[in-house]
Structure formats: structure tokens, C-alpha cells
Structure 1
């Protein structure tokens, strides 16, 4: 029998992920800043969506859509949607600018200033954070119930991701679009999409979905980290959640995906199937399973580069 979650542990976030299509960076310092902000938020928070019956704990998936942050609350086990709220960045512009100005002043003071100067900057930093946290709680009233400390940490995460976001409007973008589809959006399709973004940064819009919902896979995180791709930001999605209906290329990666894509009736320049092994069904010790995931990663990396190079270079979608 599963252990019941104590009440004190229900109203909190246990997972935070970032949308790799709208929050992108190849700068390790920027990615490190995101990770620290996520770690601090998860370490200590009080969080629950208002006006819904779902019980926590919760997962939060963060995207940037135009001038808004999308706070997408989900079940941390199944990643099924619970509630989603758009938060306009406009009221926070001054505070975001102050955040970076005071942060830089604080780092400079630590390097060279006297103790009283450091304390002065630190007081300004705390005051700015409190003002931002109160504004955040006000803007999220009747949407998300968070305490002041959680609001402070959530604001820090917003500051960390929004300056580096790639605000691609897929409705008007001229970038080629590719969709990878597998059974549960846990292994094959998210790896392929991540490798496409790695191979062609800023030159392609790559998305992934599953026929059904799945869970994040720790082996995926492990083997993708080896090639410099952070898969901890991945949240599994299903075909029915797709907003976009047109793609230049749709690639199916599991036996059940072609039929599901056909039923979805997507508009696509080309649809093709790649027969690749599912490493999640491999049996054996950890080393043997890890090697199966690496083989899939390397196969996908080669096929993604070969297949998508003509697409991003302006060639035809068809072979």
C-alpha cells in the first residue's frame, strides 16, 4: 500500500520544469542560475492551486508565451494538467530591472566594499524581494496560494529565466517545425527533440509528445547529461495537448504513434516513421540498461542531424 502523504507535505512543489522551446540557453552560467533558483524553490515552499480539488504535492511547468509567464500546475507523477495561469510580466518590469541592478551591486560589494556597504546593499535587496513577492501574491490571488517566502523564490526563478527566453511566436515564425511522437513522451521523443535543439540551436522549433502520458525517466537524464543536455526540464505531454496543428515534419518513434498521428489529422509537410529500440524494456543490470539508452541517444543524434540539416538549410521536407 502506498504511504499517505502527510498534510504538511501536500501543499508544496516537488518538481519544477522549464519549457525548452521558450526558455533556452547554451550558456552554462545561465543554466546554472536556473538550476539554483529551482533548487531553492523546491527546498522550501508552500504552494497549492486555488479553486481546484486536486491534492498535492504538485509539479510546476514554466513557459514564456509572449509577454507572459505560463505557470502550468501538474500532477508530479502523471504530469496530468491541474491548473494553468498566465502571469503578465509588464507589472514586474521595474522590479526585474532592480533585481539585476541590485544583484550586480551586491556581488561587487562582496568583492571590494566595506561591511556596512554590503549590509546597505543587502537591505535594498531584501526590500526589493519583499515588494516583488507581495506583488506576485497579489497578481496570483485566487489562482495560486503561496506564502511570502515561496513568492520570493518564485520571483527569483522568473528573473533567472525571462531575460534569456527565446520568445518564438510559432504562429508567425519562419523557423522549420518538427514534432517527435512516441508512446509516452518519456524516452524516445523527448530525447530526439532535445537533440534537435542541441544540433540546431535557434534554427528549429522541435517539440515532442506521447500517445499517452508517461513519467520522467532517470536514465534519460543520465545519458543526456553526458552530452551536455539537461533533461530535468522535460515535462511529458500527450498528443491531445498540442495547440499547434501544422508541422514541417512529423517523426513517429513507436509502433502506436503512426495511428495516433493519423487520427489527430495533423497538417504536415512530411510524416515518417523511425524504427528505434525502446531501452526502457531492456532487462539486466544498471550498466546494461544505461548502455541501451546511450545507444538510442547516439542513434537519434545521428539521424536527427542527417534528417534535419536539409530542413533547417531551407531544403525540402521530403527525402
Structure 2
């Protein structure tokens, strides 16, 4: 299948994002491995949720909850939910272990082994991948339709992200919880939540949502990449998608957010509003716009550290 055919096919993934609260790493090598796995999956795939009327192409948002990977299929432009399926990791445990064992053996063989030894390890690797792909397709029966090559690439991505799952059960966790809310969850609130996770890794649960649905913002990706945060994994969410109803602290960042939070009826130790400008409204050349995004980023970075430091120290807004 040529590139032009793949690009116009409806039954395929065009976006893959990861939940930053449940798939966490600050190691650049690990993040690079995720990116390679995502790139390979998006480069060529055949993917369609079963038993839904929505047409593709599709976006896939992945999170890890307990012993399950949540495959959340969405519209690639609006990020409206289409279908969501929980995939148990238990049947894949042996294959995931084999994946890393054979991968390490393959890298070692490339460095020092004879060609026939490399071929032997490579055959074992292909065999393991095929077995895992067939199992994955079986487990996704009547849920998601994928071909063998797509299943192989999806299994590789699962292997790449699952060792770094935070395994935090938000229902029972005693970590402080913070929710940032803005208009579309495209710029202000996701930047604030990402900065909070970077400043206090593993010490809080920081989520972000919008009053309405938004789109991914390339300027956000660019200015956050400058400080080592990968925002390409972000999927915009809206208030109505929230499962949790209680937060230690809710921070609103847009004029329409306070009323929306009040109507939602969230329980919170404290709710406060931060008046910040929306850089996506700035007009001018690329340099002017980037400067506005950097100003927002740097301002939020200082404010997040100053406000959340005491919350982290006390363990809860209510203490």
C-alpha cells in the first residue's frame, strides 16, 4: 500500500496519545522509545472500532488503569469519544517479558554475534511478535478490528509504555489531586497540568479539562518541548468526561471555567481562579505568537510551583 493510499484510508489511526497521569517517565530514552513505537504504528496501520457508526480516520488515547490498558478511540479533530475498551494485561505478561528478553538479546547479537546468530534471534523475535499479535487480535474480537501488522505494532507500543505505568488508583490514592480547567483544554490547562507533573513528579495527581472540546495546538508542543515536556501525548478532554468528582484543588484559567465548574458540582477543598491570557488569540508573526506562548508557560511555571508546593507538603488541601 502506497503512502497516498494510506493517507486517504478511513479505517486507520492518524493520532495516538498517552495519558500523562498513568504513563509516566522523565527519561528521554524511554520517551524516545514511545515516540518510535507511535511513529511506526501511525506510519502504516489498519484500525477500525467494531459495532460503531462513526467513520474514520481515528485517534487513539491510551492509559493504564490497574492491570488494564484503556484503548480510548476518538475523533481525530474534535476528540469526541467514539468507543473505549479495557484490555487486560494478564494474558500478555509472558509475551511482554519475552519481548524485552529477546529485544535485549537482539541488540547484543548485533554488537557482537555472527550473522547466523543474529538471524536465529531475529526469527525468535518475529515468532514472538506474531504470537502476541494473534493474541491481541483475539482479545480485541468484536471490539477493534486490526490486521496482523497493526496488531504487531500496537503490541510493541504496549510493551514500550507499560513498564512506566504509575499504577496509581485514583479512587484510593492519598496523593493530592489538582484539576486545571480552561475553555478548550488545548493551551492553558494542559500546560499548567504538565508543569505541575514536571515540578512534583509522582507527588500529586494533576488533570486538566476544558469547558468545551478543543484541538491539539502545535505552538504548545513547541514551547513545552523546549523545557523537556512532550505534549504530543495530550488529548483534549471536557468537564463532562470527568470520572472523579472530588479534588483537593480546582484552578480555573478562563473566564467561562468558574461557572462551568460550579454547574458541574465538583467537590473541592478549594477552588480558585487564575487570570491568564490566552496566547492563541495573539495576532502577529510566528515569533510574536511563540513569545506569547512562552510568556504563558513561564508565568504558569512559577505560579504552579508557588501554589502547589504547600499543597504537596501538607498532602491534602483539606489538611
TM-score by length of 2: 0.97
Q: CA deviation at 1:6?
A: 9.1
CA contact (8 A) 2:182 2:253 kept: yes
Which residue of 1 is the match for residue 71 of structure 2? 71
Which residue of 1 is the match for residue 47 of structure 2? 47
Supply the distance in 1 between the matched residues of 2:243 and 2:315 (Cα, whole angstroms): 26
Q: CA deviation at 1:317?
A: 3.1
Aligned residues between the structures: 314
2:17 matches 1:17: yes
CA contact (8 A) 1:23 1:162 kept: yes
2:317 matches 1:278: no
Supply the distance in 1 between the matched residues of 2:161 and 2:258 (Cα, whole angstroms): 35
Q: 1:127-276, aligned counterparts within 5 Å?
A: 127-276=127-276
Supply the distance in 2 between the matched residues of 1:60 and 1:316 (Cα, whole angstroms): 33
Q: CA deviation at 1:9?
A: 1.2
| Consecutive unaligned residues in structure 1, runs of 5 or more | none
CA contact (8 A) 1:310 1:316 kept: no
2:314 matches 1:290: no
Q: Secondary structure at the match of 2:102?
A: helix
Deviations 1:228-262 (A, max 9, x none): 00000000000000000000000000000000000
Deviations 1:166-190 (A, max 9, x none): 0100111110000000000000000
**CA, structure 1 residues 160+311, in 2 after alignment: closer, same or farther (shift >3 Å)?**
same
CA contact (8 A) 1:204 1:312 kept: yes
Supply the distance in 1 between the matched residues of 2:201 and 2:106 (Cα, whole angstroms): 33
Which residue of 2 is the match for residue 93 of structure 1? 93
Supply the distance in 2 between the matched residues of 1:264 and 1:10 (Cα, whole angstroms): 36
CA contact (8 A) 2:136 2:155 kept: yes
CA contact (8 A) 1:181 1:251 kept: yes
| Consecutive unaligned residues in structure 2, runs of 5 or more | none
Deviations 1:58-105 (A, max 9, x none): 000000011000000000000000000000000000000000000000
Point out 4+ residue stretches in structure 1 off by more than 2 angstroms. Answer: 5-8, 315-318
**CA, structure 1 residues 154+315, in 2 after alignment: closer, same or farther (shift >3 Å)?**
closer
Q: CA deviation at 1:316?
A: 6.5
**CA, structure 1 residues 109+316, in 2 after alignment: closer, same or farther (shift >3 Å)?**
closer
Task: Let me know the Cα RMSD of the aligned residues.
Answer: 1.2
Supply the distance in 2 between the matched residues of 1:8 and 1:145 (Cα, whole angstroms): 18
